[in-house]
Every structure is written in C-alpha cells, then in structure tokens.
Amino acid sequence: MSPRARWTLAKVAVVAALLAIWELATRAFHVSPLLFPPASTVLRAFARSVENGQVPGYAAQSLQVLLAGMGIAAVLTLALTGVAVTTRTGSAVLETLTSMFNPLPAIALMPLSLLWFGLGTGSLIFVVVHSVLWPMSLNTYTGFVTVAPTLRKVGQNLGLRGWHFVAGILLPAAFPHILTGVKIGWAFAWRTVIAAEMVFGVAGSQGGLGWFIYQNRFEMNTELVFAGLVTVIVIGLLVENLLFRWLERATVVRWGMSAPQR
Amino acid sequence: MAADLLRVVDVALAYERHEGSFTAVDGVSLVVREGERFVLFGPSGCGKSTLLQAMAGFLRPSRGSIELDGKPVLAPGPDRVVVFQEFDQLLPWRTVLGNVAYPLRVARGMAAAQAKAEALRYVELVGLAGFAQAHPHQLSGGMKQRVAIARALALSPRILLMDEPFASLDAITRRKLQDDLLAVLRAARTTLLFVTHSVEEAVLLGDRILVLTSTPGKVRGMVDNPAAGSRHTASAVQVQRAVDELLAG
C-alpha cells in the first residue's frame, strides 16, 4: 500500500473510532437524545435530510453566499495588492488596513452590516468579504514581494509591463502564497457564513446551514442540529481534501514550487 | 570591419548603500562589434556584472551613455536578452518548451502554434528535445542553463548578454556547456557579450577580451584573441598569459 493510501486509511480509522465511541457512550450512559443523540440517529437524520433535499438546499444557499463573498474579496485583493506592489503609498495603505481590520472579528461588524445592507444576502456577503479580504491580501502581497529578483528581471527583459507583467510573472510566481491565502480565506469564510446565518436567520433572511442548525435547535430537533454540524464538517473536509489537494497537485506540486505532500 | 553594435562611453555606475554611494564602475568605454564574441573579464568586484546589468537596461549609469544601434539604452528589452547565472531564471510553472515559446509570443508577437514550432527548434538545438514537456524543477542545473540559452537565442536578440551563466556548474558540465555554446553560436551568428572571472573561459569564448580591475571597475586593457574556440593549444595558453599579465599590471 502506498504511504498516501495508508495515511488516508488512518484518517478514516480516526473518524470511524470517533463515531463508535459516540454511539457506544450515548447508549451506555443513556444520554437523552434531546441533548446528545447517538451517532446512528444523527447519521439517519442526515441521510434523510439529504434525501429530502433540505440539507442540500440550505448548503447551496450558504455556499452561494460564501462564493459571492470570496469572489468579491478576490477582486478587491487583486486591486489592493496590485496597487501595493507598484506604489509606496499603496503598500502603506495595505499594511495599515490589514493591521487594523485583520484582528476585527467578522461577527463584530454584523450590527453595522445590518444597518447598511439590511436583512438579506447583502449583509452576509459583506461580513464574508471582510473575513477573507485581509488574510488573502496579506498572503498575496507576501507572495508578490517575495518573487525572486531574477524572475522579475526576466519579465522586464521580455518587455512585459503593467498588467502583462503582473499576469505573466507576478501572479504565477506568487501562486503558492496566493493559494495559501485562498485556503485560509475559505476556512474563515466558511466559519463566518455559518455564524452570520445564525444571527441573520432569526431575523428572517432565506436560510443557509447556520439557519438550519439554529432553527432545529429552536424546535428541539437535536438530531438535525447535529446533522447540520455534520454537513458543515463534511463540506469542509471535501473542499480541503479534494478541491484544494487537487488544485495543489495540478499547480504548485507539478511546478516544484512546494514540498510534495502526503 | 564589422559595424559597431553596442557602444558604452565613459560610463560610471554607482548605487546607494548604507554607508553611502558606492561606485562599482568608473569611466568604462567599450564597443562591441556586430557578430563578434566579446568577453568582459575581471576579478570579483570589478563591476563587470553591474556593467552588464546597465547594458541590459536594469540600471541607469550615473554618468556616460550606452547605445545599441546608435539609440540610447533606457530600459530592458528583448533586443538584449540576458542569460543569468542563477538557475531560477526559468518560469517554474511552464514546461521547457513553454519557457522558450512564451517569450516568443509576448515579445515577438508570434501566434501560439508558430511560437511552439520555433521553440521546439531551439530546444532541439541545445539538446533537450527529450525534456520539452518537463518542468524546470525536474532538470539539473546544466539543463536549466541550456533552456535559458535556448530561450535567449530563440528571441534572436541583437546581442546576447551572458552573466557568468556557467559559474554555478561543476567543472565537467561547464566544459560541455562551453563547447555546446560555441557550436550553437556558430549556427546562430548572434553577437555575444559574455561576463566571466575565469581566464580559461574568457580565452575559449572571446574574440576580444576586455580586462577590468576592481574597486571601482576600470578598464585595464584589451586583448585580441586569435585562440578563440580552442583549449590548451599553445596560442590559447599564450593569450591566457597575456590576459593574466595585463590583470596583474
């Protein structure tokens, strides 16, 4: 068996062990299913709500907000870092803004977001943009300024200027950092969107997974609360282990710009 | 007599350091003629690489002028392609073929298919046809330098500027690449300006050898080299001695 397959198997074994402990413990200690339903009940509830389209619908809503937020943040990142690498003022602006806003939790902006954008998707997207813009900008900027001087000279030697230089040399050369920024951004965005939906959900926007979880707690459908959490975890795992792994292997690993991974 | 191609007149190059302004090159004049192989030879710190950077347009002289075909050099451009010493001069995200073809598209405006065909010709010329689809990180240092040479030649620049491209290679690989460079240049007929601190390399590659002294870099003298292209022949050894004596003053 290849080391990679063994590693994957080990991870699966950890999940299986956790599920088994969960199942046995809840049954052995007769825990109230209203507080902590057994794993089997949760998985059945999860399967049911996937089947009846409830979970996919809510998940799609959350992902839609998340992708819109990340898309806007990506454009802003490109603009901000583009100005920052080409002008001194720009880099001062970027550094000041990121040090001010990066530590500010997205949730803390929610009252303002509600005030400015009202109840609805706009407010959610705003807080998602805030949560991913700063880490993505920081990483992209680091990527740009650490491009090897020789590569810059090669680009200049070819007569590349302005946008052609950015697209032809800087972006691909900084790609390992940019990818890290996107991965961090994704994790932040995912947390933010779930948390924000819980607040907005009550206020009556069309619901995402956060709202699904919140609503089911309200109705004491504890197994569905767990099913919602399972969905959040499963989507996180899929994106991290399939999408990002694939992206890394198709780019930075293939180009020899990162250490090969398990 | 061939026409003057690159003309450097009374150039001084200085850059700012913590301790203040540092003069790397002072009052250097030289002329590279069309079609010749010109070597800038000198010890470390004589400013020969700095001078090459200025000819490439990466640096502005603090005094004097640099002209290519009678026009002042103000910025880098694909009419003066540089082959650097560093192995990381290839674009890691492009294949060997892509590294040679991409510049043809952006700097020469070739269509993708044409650039690819042209690039393949040069990849074959440097003996890397079998690695056309490999990425740079899969190549040895010598192979990377071969790709850089192919990329530079494919652009058919007015002058090829080589900044100690073989200095980081082992002795055996270096010899092989020197011989192959000579063969390739004979085929391509490109004007060459080659910077080195190795007297053997200077005498092997240069039709004329300009000897520089250090701190700041000044011209010590010019040596005509009838032994170009040969190693260890009596005349090569004689020219090496002449260069060494000139350097020692």
What is the ipTM score, two decimals? 0.91
> To the nearest whole number, what is the mean pLDDT of chain B?
89
Residue B140 lies inside a defined structural domain of this protein: yes
Chosen domain end from B130, B156, B182: B156
> What is the mean pLDDT of the segment spanning A205-220?
85
User: Which residue in the set A150, A158, A251 is minimally distant from B78, CB to CB?
Assistant: A158
Q: What is the pLDDT of residues B78-133, one digit of tens each?
A: 999 999 999 999 999 999 999 999 999 999 899 999 999 999 999 999 999 999 99
Report the CATH number that the domain containing residue B53 is assigned in CATH. Answer: 3.40.50.300
Residue B118 lies inside a defined structural domain of this protein: yes
- C-alpha span between A69 and A67 (Å, rounded): 5
Could you count the other beta carbons within 10 Å of the beta carbon of residue A79? 12
Residue in A151, A157, A171 to test binding to B, most B beta-carbons within 10 Å? A157
pLDDT band at A206 (very low <50, low <70, confident <90, very high): low
The answer to whether B76 contacts chain A (CB < 8 Å) is yes
- C-alpha span between A236 and A230 (Å, rounded): 10
B104 and B23 assigned to the same domain? no
Residue A164 and residue B106: Cβ atoms within 8 Å?
A: yes
B168 and B228 assigned to the same domain? yes
Chosen domain end from B103, B121, B156: B156
B164 and B120 assigned to the same domain? no
B68 and B169 assigned to the same domain? yes
C-alpha distances in Å from residue A256, one per residue of A120, B174, B198 = 44, 25, 32
Q: Which of A101, A111, A193, A189 is nearest to A138 (CA)?
A: A101
Q: What is the pLDDT of residue B28?
A: 87
Number of structural domains found in chain B: 2
Residue B41 lies inside a defined structural domain of this protein: yes
DSSP, res A108: G
> Distance (Å) from the C-alpha of residue B233 to the closest C-alpha of chain A?
37
Residues of A with Cβ-Cβ distance to B147 under 8 angstroms: none
Q: What is the pLDDT of residues A123-152, one digit of tens each?
A: 999 999 999 999 999 999 999 999 999 999
Tell how strand B191-196 and strand B159-163 pair up: parallel
B20 and B102 assigned to the same domain? no
Give me the DSSP letters along B10-45.
EEEEEEEETTEEEEEEEEEEEEEETT-EEEEE--TT
User: Which residue in the set B84, B88, B93 is minimally distant from A255, CB to CB?
Assistant: B93
At the topology level, CATH places domain A46-253 in MetI-like fold (1.10.3720)
B111 and B129 assigned to the same domain? yes
Global pTM reads 0.86
- Give yes or no for a contact between B135 and B157, defined as CB atoms under 8 angstroms apart: no
Chosen domain end from B113, B135, B156: B156
Residue B119 lies in domain: 90-156
B172 and B129 assigned to the same domain? no
Residue B54 lies inside a defined structural domain of this protein: yes
Q: What is the pLDDT of residues B119-174, one digit of tens each?
A: 999 999 999 999 999 999 999 999 999 999 999 999 999 999 999 999 998 999 99
